[in-house]
Amino acid sequence: MICRMLLLIGLILSAMAAAKARAADCPGNPNALGTSRVMTIDPQKLPRIGTVQYTRSLPLEDKEVVLTFADGPMPPYTNRVLDVLAEHCVKANYFIIGRMARGYPELLETIHAGGHIIGSHSQNHPLAFERMPLGAVQEEIE
């Protein structure tokens, strides 16, 4: 019983310390959600992840989520999302379409400056990669 109580007290103190750290890291918003950690994915260890198409998912802890925004940047929506994320000191993943990035380079710079992860959704985000000629797929990716 004493061990359980000490464990519970330890968990409570850890949670309080984490909450204080999040608030300290997010000036002006003591109730900020914050980003608990940044996870680096080794493609050699997790080459195919996700729960829809694949059998493995990211090694997340309980109550952890990964925020991903795709197919942008697209004003005014990307701007609004970035404002909310900044208000709560939360980082997200942005999967950008190349032609959209060329159309809104300053918005891509804002995403990068905010410390978010940027990935590619190819040049035009075709929905039929598997039916495209290899050369066309290479052009989309490069």
- pLDDT surpassing 70 at residue 7: no
Tell me, yes or no, whether 26 and 44 share the same domain.
Answer: no
CA 123 to chain centre: 20
Same domain, 96 and 128: yes
| Residue 31 region by backbone torsions, left for phi larger than 0, else alpha for psi between -120 and 50, else beta | alpha
* Residues 98, 115 within the same domain: yes
- The CATH number covering residue 135 comes to 3.20.20.370
Its domain, for residue 3, covers 1-32
Closest CA to 81 of 68, 100, 64: 68
Same domain, 9 and 63: no
Q: Is the pTM of this model over 0.75?
A: no
Residue 47 sits in the same domain as residue 27: no
Question: Mind listing the pLDDT tens digit for each residue in 110-142?
Answer: 999 999 999 989 999 998 888 999 999 999 988
**How many structural domains does the chain have?**
2
Element (H, E) at 122: none
Peptide bond into 43 cis (omega under 30): no
| Angstrom distance (rounded) from CA 133 to CA 125 | 15
Q: Do 130 and 70 belong to one domain?
A: yes
Q: What is the average pLDDT across 28-48?
A: 83
Count, in order, helices (H) and strands (E) of the chain: 5, 3
- What would the two tokens of residue 115 be? 């410390």
- Work out whether strand 117-120 and strand 68-72 pair parallel, antiparallel, or are unpaired: unpaired
CA dist 91 and 26 (Å) reads 12
12/6 Cα distance (integer angstroms): 10
Return d(Cα 78, Cα 31) in angstroms, integer: 23
Both 2 and 58 in a single domain? no
Q: Are residues 91 and 77 in the same domain?
A: yes
Kindly report, residue by residue over 78-109, the tens digit of the pLDDT.
999 999 999 999 999 999 999 999 999 999 99
Mean pLDDT, the chain, whole residue set = 80
Q: Are residues 104 and 61 in the same domain?
A: yes
CB 73 within 8 A of CB 101: yes
Considering the domain architecture, whether residues 75 and 128 belong to the same structural domain is answered as: yes
Q: Are residues 124 and 58 in the same domain?
A: yes
